[in-house]
Structure 1
Amino acid sequence: MKLMTRIMLCLILFLTVTVSARAGDKVIPQERPPFTLTKADRNAIRSEIQAVIDEGYYPGISVLLIHRGKVIMREAHGVVNIETKDPFTVDQLCWLASTGKLFTATLMASLMDDGLLTFDDPIAKTFPEFAEIRLPDGSKPKQPVRIRHVLSHTSGIPNDNWLKVNKQLEKTSPELKDYIFPQTHQDFVNGCLKLGLVAEPGTKMMYGRPIDLSACVAEKVTGKTFVELMQERVFKPLNLKNTTIQPTLAELKRLAPLYQSNKAGVFELDNFGLEVAERQDKRFSTAGGGVYSTLDDIGTLMQMHLSRGVYNGKPFIDRRILQQLYLPQPGTNDRYALAFQFKENNKYGPSVILSHPGYSGPVAWIDFNRDLVGVLLMQSNTVNRTKHHDRIMDTIMRIVPVEK
């Protein structure tokens, strides 16, 4: 499907009110009962989850499904710790890695809703020195690096993989200190400027670290830290009591261990999530993967998006601003929006999935066609992650019908 067709489909899906109707400041819910999962339906989903666990790449998996605003499935299977054999529970705290970008997208939309920025703002509007960033030949780019570019990974600033392949620079290279381990938002801005551009902004997707420029802008325009902004604008107003960027010692004790598994049945501890927590406790916080949360809290965030910016019956963020998050961006081959992945799945009826997976195993998604929120938590980094996500999600989409 061509880009304009996709965009129109997204607009139609978003602007068609299927869950609620506005009346002044209030939202009047329509009485539409949620889909009822039969015993056979539940068993089919459970069987697929168990089959994925049995393949030997995940100790445990939890699932949350919300249909028409009501929880229709909330379960956990397997274990969280392969040493103690403690069960994986539905209230397990997990590091979300890149799934945390969904929280960043929400924060940036909130700032736009208050008139503090727009997605088309050049980074140079907030950091004037960014007007001097140049392409490899020393020329000025045809357009400035904008907020929408950093949120869609099309800024033209190289990512870690490009630097390793083309410059033989590792994360530990001294030249990358400000880029990899910034102490402040200004450090990260300086690190990006040192790297310069390797592509015209808005033309090529290079997934990675430059999304943290959105946190730099957020901090500068508000005078607050990224952690404070997340707490004040996302976590607290949505009542996300089990979501944090700086986990306490008590929270770290109940954090699910993260494993790496590249061979069935073989698990190695992966401390990346703990390292991120330690860095964020002392230094600049990442916009790309620094959130720790639970099944229910992620579900609440995603339901707000599915409800067109409505939370607890009241407008939370202008739906027209949220809609901009969901549109696939130039340079991404129609597969990435603003901190949301964009994917069509027409196997069981026309469907547009807006989601984000994470290095640590999770995925959260919204399906406007089905009026469905889904969350899977699985704390293991494996190359098979996308395949396993798709298998479980396909089973769910086969069972939960497209809205008529």
Structure 2
Amino acid sequence: MDKDDIGGTDLAELSAALKKGGLDRPAVVLDLDALDHNIAILKKTADPRLAWRLVAKSLPSEPLIRYLQNALGTRKLMVFSDPMLSQLLSGTPTDVLMGRPMLISSVRRVLGCYPKATHQVQWLVDSFARLEEYRELAAELGTPLRLNLEIDVGLHRGGFAIEDIARLDTAFRNCKELKLAGLMGYEPHLSKLPSVLAAVSEKRFEKTYGAFVRWARSMGGEFCFNTGGSLTFHKYQSGGSINEVSFGSVMVLPTDFKSSASLGFVPAAYVATPILKVLPSNPWPGLDVLSGLRRRTMDVAIQGGYFMGEPIYPCKFGYSGIFGRSSNQEIWSGRSKAGLAPGDIALLRPSQSELVLNSLGSMLAYRRDQGLSEWPVLPH
């Protein structure tokens, strides 16, 4: 079958369209029809009473981000790097929450180039040492910085614990340079633990997040209480501790997030690359004497290789166990396929969207019967 096994893109049709469009390099392809389907699923599965925040590293293209922002009615982004943040700040104003703490030198550089970041960005802080660094920078610049506190809700990748609340209270109430903007408690472990352990961890999450929310609200003001990701966003409802969820990869459904297919999401992003060589009945190196065993098989050499993904077209082809992985003319092996020729386009389904979607230059936006458009990508 020439369709993905969970529905969506007709791979033979996509491959033919890319060849007709003159694709002669490895490229990421975005299927806009599949993306529209995923937007509809997102609207059905995410609580509309919560704020929605797009994870930019998983959707690293300004046209793609704008497309989703317009479709979902949100301006909120989560950003993870200085270069990506700087490019986004130079464009349309938005609401940015940093997804990881930044070194103070990077923060100083960003604020030096984009002073408006003091109002648009919530800087993530995970420790008292970093809190002091941000206080010193705010004093140096003469303007308060909006800080979002990373809290450890059980992932154990750093962040503040319940025992830190009293000290945090003193720090924020006694320092005009620091402004509490919100909390972030990331919890990807909850979707991967066995049910018994997950139940205990969920209680810990609620206890920890709830304690921080009660403290934050005692400070007065409006806050961002963020959690979730592409595997957990749909589990949250308004009325609890959190008031916004983040998601990104689920919109294009790479293989690492395939469990979300159960909600109705379909793959919407592919890596495409030309086939350079078609090698029917190709002997194994050094084992020509066994060439008869290869009569019904075929190897193809693709342009480039070592892509982070799973071969899906031509159908029933996969990485060669004999030749191994390669970043140059990688060999895929499969059953003989009539009509396959150099210049045809091979397709892979990415294992993740971050570091993949912006690794091959401008991505190609594809809509059936409307041709291809180039969408520039954001820096890592």
What is the TM-score normalised by the length of structure 2? 0.25
* Larger strand fraction of residues: 2
What is the TM-score normalised by the length of structure 1? 0.24
